[in-house]
Structure 1
Amino acid sequence: MAMSSSSIGSSRYVDVSGTDGEAHIPVSTTDELDPSLAGGFRVIYDRETPFELRIQDADNTPQQIGTLEAIKVKILILGSDTDIHVVRVELSTESDLFFLYTHTCDLESFHAMQEQQKLMVDFADYANVLIRMLNNCIKEPHNHLAVYLMQADGRARLDFIQNMEYKFIELLSVDFMRASEDTIRQHISFRYTSMKSRLQVLQTRLHVRSSHGFTVPVTYN
């Protein structure tokens, strides 16, 4: 069995040659359709993180105890690693396709946040700080908490809190806004297209297995 990869248009293929013929398995390459990448953004972080979701009532009283949910956190930057212009964070969840919140921060808005929260980090390190805090919430969920407070008007706030046993320390607060209906529709459409593409790959893989009697490893990029 010989395997080689080639590019044809915007789709990549894995060529699988068997004794009885050749099959072409399309590998999903829908990144160019991802609405998150519009405007030149690129993803530097994409992981599920345990969030405690709380809803703030009309009288501005938040829930004392929220619900634990696995939230997909995607961090994107505009610019190079050494010259970041904008940091954007997107929150979504597989349990609710209409759950989509974004946080966008440039140098000016970061300075306002830096002054308000007395932050000791620079804008160039902001994305790395977010990544480190998110990873801490994944690795040590009992000591590092991500509390997400949502309001009825679409505003939300993510609080990174450290449990010091004798007290809770708020490390960083990040403001979010619920995405527009149009943006949510674009993301739902993209997720559907991606899922459909992956299903097509799996169906083709099963067909090759039944036709040639061997397993074809397919990786998603």
Structure 2
Amino acid sequence: MEFNDPKLKEYIDQLVDEKLSEKTKEFSAQFDTIQNTLATLKAAPQTTEKVTMLVTSFELDKIMPAFIIANGAASFGMDVTLFFTLWGINALKDKSVYSGKTIKEKLITMMLPSTPQTTTISRLNMLGVGTEMMKMMMKENNIETLPDLIDLSVEMGAKLIACQMTMGMMGITTEEIRKDVEFGGVATYIEEASDATITLTF
């Protein structure tokens, strides 16, 4: 049988057509699989990294980093939640209220800060001199004040949660807390922290 035999040529053409058809079906199936995968990914909910912070301190050099990191995380598109308990809850106050409180609650209110402006540094406070020097240095280095950082965090979408147990223990009412703050307890914090990418304590 010669190579230029019509029957041989027909056989080769048929074989090539079969192989091409087989490959075409294979590529078509792969393409369909890719399309289905892309459609599934597109329909799936987009996950966002999340930062949850437990804020227990009200000292300037401890609570400032919390808001600086919170604002930084929010600027990167991360979900940010700050849960304030114990002394940290004072960062959320915008005034002190005495009416309707017991004598003990009024005494505690007198001892607690009324606003974030009254926070002091944890060491070398020296009757307030150290804190004022720290605030002057912050201003000279264009570092925002604590109240400004708190306002900025809210503007950037951070969620601020006040611990209800701490409020009850310290006699703090919802009237004394900022209007943009949510309220919750242990279950609220655990729910927020359970799916967090990063969890920090200050």
TM-score (norm 2): 0.24
Indicate the structure with greater helix content.
2
Q: Which has the higher contact order (CA 8 A, sep 6+)?
A: 2
Larger Rg: 2
